[in-house]
Amino acid sequence: MKFPAFCLFLFVCMLLLPTYALGAESPAAIKLFMNEKRLTSTEVEPRIVSGNTIVPVRIIVQEIGAKVTWDQAARKVTIVKDDVNIQLVIDSKTAVINGKKETMEVAPIIENGNTMLPLSFIGSRMGIEFKWDGLTSSVHMFKKDDTDSKPVTAPVDTGDGNQPGTPKPTAPPTVAPTKPTTPPTVPPTAPPTGDENGIKPPDPNVHLLNLIQLTEKDLIVNAKDGALTPTVLKLSNPNRIVFDFPNTKLDESLQKLLVNNAGELPSKHPLVQKVRFSNFADNPATVRIILDLKGAADYKAQTSKLPNQWTATIAEHQLTVVIDAGHGDQDPGALSITGKHEKEFTLATAKKVEKLLAQDKRVVVMMTRSDDTFIPLDNRVSFANDNMVDLFLSIHGNSAKSTVTGTETYYNRPESIDFANVVHQKVVAATGFPDRKVRQADFRVITKTTMPAVLVEVGYLSNKSDESAMYKEAFQDKVAASLVAAIKEYLNLK
Ligand SMILES: [Zn+2]
């Protein structure tokens, strides 16, 4: 197996992905976003004091664009933007705005040499819109008249019209489109249509969710119209499943359940502690539903009779193993010294592993192929990743000059080392071939999979004695038994 160098790049990307995903879920820190761009703190972290986010003065200067001056003697901070003048005194809750006194809920403080200012008190007077996302502890700020963040789409409104007199906050300006060739759906200068009463037309691409329900078995999500397909993320410590429904918003009835943009539903499901939901993002509008689990559980999407309904069964996590018979059909793999194909050895051995392992009812065995079919490597990877399996084992036969003999076991990602060691120890004992060690390589199926994944090169098909053993039924049985023993040992199945 030869792989181009970009595999390494892909590998690095894969390593980065889960880190970001987890980072975005960390409950401890307050995250700041300006026009949906994450702001990072180099100095003191923003934090919450009496329900107010306080931030280093730099955020006010750089992100809100205010001018800040400091009077050391009076410990006074003056913040100016356009025609707004705000004066604050450190450790005092009294603010002076354009000459008028106002009381703040939280006083500015000095922390580790940083002046920390109440973010929304200042920002809201300087034309910044705020949105608090309680699920992720994020402050989303939106600046309207920024030259580099002009809206590229028309303002989105739910159009429910229940507050025609109240000007609703306009949709946040979107950041520059990632694909500059994509024309905006509505030009920013498009004349407003049908909003003489202050009611903007609903965005036909945004579907309103009117039901989020967890029964003793299923999670049911219903939209007024449109099909629902969430992206799903499983997280541990604590165990939870995160469902993001793109192009959706909560309808009025669900909106009413929100406190600080986070809603909660009790659970009757034996595996779920509670259900949380929120209007998670604006661009695209995304409803996030989180199931806080009591232990390890999986979801399985059901085919719903209603196109606008999405249902998933939440069930106990079952150990699942993918057995991958290398090569297939037009990809025969290595040619053995007597002219046999690697794909036949791998399939025969993989099927023996399947049969043996499936005898243990605690395990679900999934085969990438069960016959002489060609399956691209990326499909083998996505098959395992999409099914969120626990283990991945790929079976191969090796080839080199005819004197080379022995068993090799490959892993790529560090989390696969333990599994590789168990597999190798068992399979070397079973083959009796020379021990050519556990090795690291960037074979696609063990690199791009997201669970512990190992590729075993049982022996050398280019070597006369290895090869003659490898096509014998009894030898394959022995190898299969050793692989099953390794899987069970690794999964702690006594
Ligand atoms: Zn191979």
Read out DSSP for 402-414?
TT---EEEEE-SG
Rg (CA), the chain: 29
Which CATH code fits 207-316? Answer: 2.60.40.3500
CATH 3.40.630.40 placement within the chain: 319-490
Q: Give dist(CA 366, CA 87) in Å, integer.
A: 66
Q: Give dist(CA 154, CA 482) in Å, integer.
A: 62
Centroid of ligand 1 to alpha carbon of 457 (angstroms): 7
Centroid of ligand 1 to alpha carbon of 334 (angstroms): 6
Centroid of ligand 1 to alpha carbon of 400 (angstroms): 12
> Widest CA span of the chain, in angstroms?
94
Residues 6 or more apart whose Cβ sits within 8 Å of residue 391: 319, 320, 321, 322, 419, 451, 452, 453, 487, 490, 491
Which CATH code fits 29-149? Answer: 3.30.457.10
**Of the candidates 158, 144, 152, which has an alpha carbon nearest to the alpha carbon of residue 187?**
152
Centroid of ligand 1 to alpha carbon of 325 (angstroms): 9
Q: Give dist(CA 329, CA 372) in Å, integer.
A: 5
CATH 3.40.50.300 fits 319-490, yes or no: no
Q: Give dist(CA 40, CA 29) in Å, integer.
A: 11
Centroid of ligand 1 to alpha carbon of 13 (angstroms): 25
Centroid of ligand 1 to alpha carbon of 1 (angstroms): 6
* Contact assessment for residue 345 and residue 471, using Cβ atoms and an 8 Å cutoff: yes
Q: Give dist(CA 325, CA 348) in Å, integer.
A: 8
Centroid of ligand 1 to alpha carbon of 362 (angstroms): 30
| Helix/strand/coil percentages in the chain, nearest 5 | 20, 35, 45
CATH 3.30.457.10 placement within the chain: 29-149
Beta bridge pairs of residue 118: 54
Residue type, 406: G
Centroid of ligand 1 to alpha carbon of 433 (angstroms): 18
CATH 2.60.40.3500 placement within the chain: 207-316
Please list the pLDDT of the chain residue by residue as tens digits (494 residues).
444 444 444 444 444 433 333 333 333 567 788 777 777 766 677 888 777 788 888 777 778 878 787 777 788 888 888 778 888 888 888 888 888 888 888 888 888 777 888 888 888 888 787 776 766 777 877 776 443 332 333 233 222 333 333 333 333 333 333 333 333 333 333 344 444 444 556 677 899 999 999 999 999 999 998 889 999 888 877 889 999 999 999 999 999 999 988 999 999 999 999 999 999 998 889 999 999 999 888 898 888 788 899 999 999 888 999 999 999 999 999 999 999 999 999 999 999 999 999 999 899 999 999 999 999 999 999 999 988 899 999 999 999 999 999 999 999 999 999 999 999 999 999 999 999 999 999 999 999 999 999 999 999 999 999 999 999 999 999 999 999 999 999 999 98
Centroid of ligand 1 to alpha carbon of 139 (angstroms): 51
Q: Give dist(CA 277, CA 250) in Å, integer.
A: 9
